[in-house]
Amino acid sequence: MTLSSMLSAGKAKGQLNPLIEPGVEPLVSAINALDFAKTVYSCEAHFDRPQDPRFLPTAYVTFGLTEFRPFIPLRKALVLFDNAETETDLRLTYDCVLGRYTLSIWARPRHRAPSQKRAVIDSAVARLAETVLEFSRRNSPDSSEQDTGENEGAYPCRERVPPCALATPPKELICPFR
């Protein structure tokens, strides 16, 4: 499929950006609406293809930050979302070589049928997108509810923003600095 045919097919389906898969487009758009983050890669997870049993189909969005401080309260919101989530697992990882974060979402193993997994992932992506958009609204320059992360104490080294914040490999948890 050529680039022009992909663009035409996507526009015919009403996609905002035909190069982004529709299952992950709401989350990509929400992250790109933030002043301090821009997406680089994304995937909606593909359940209709033969799967290697060693790997789980995973929806993900990879993004870079232009500033770290505004990301601190969003990271807290993502942790709260993950703690409340029962149908999917989230993981936020940091690639210290490329300097990018990846937010991965996958259906819990109890969901067997591909259509069931697709529905669970799509629902989580929509709710995550709403979480990010709500964060963006609350933390816009016009808002009186801004959370700047000034009182954040979640770093193991007890610093507000440690020097390692953008160069530490991720831990197993959703937050690489938790």
pLDDT digits (tens, 9 = 90+) for 137-157: 888 766 555 554 444 444 444
Nearby residues of 44 by Cβ (< 8 Å), 6 or more positions away: 21, 22, 23, 24, 59, 121, 125
pTM surpassing 0.75?
no
pLDDT in tens, 66-116: 888 889 899 988 888 888 877 888 899 888 888 899 999 988 877 778 888
State percent of the chain over pLDDT 90: 28
pLDDT at position 172 is: 37
Q: Is 132 helix (H, G, I), strand (E, B) or coil?
A: helix
Name the residue ranges covered by the structural domains of the chain: 17-178
Pair of tokens at residue 13: 């389906």
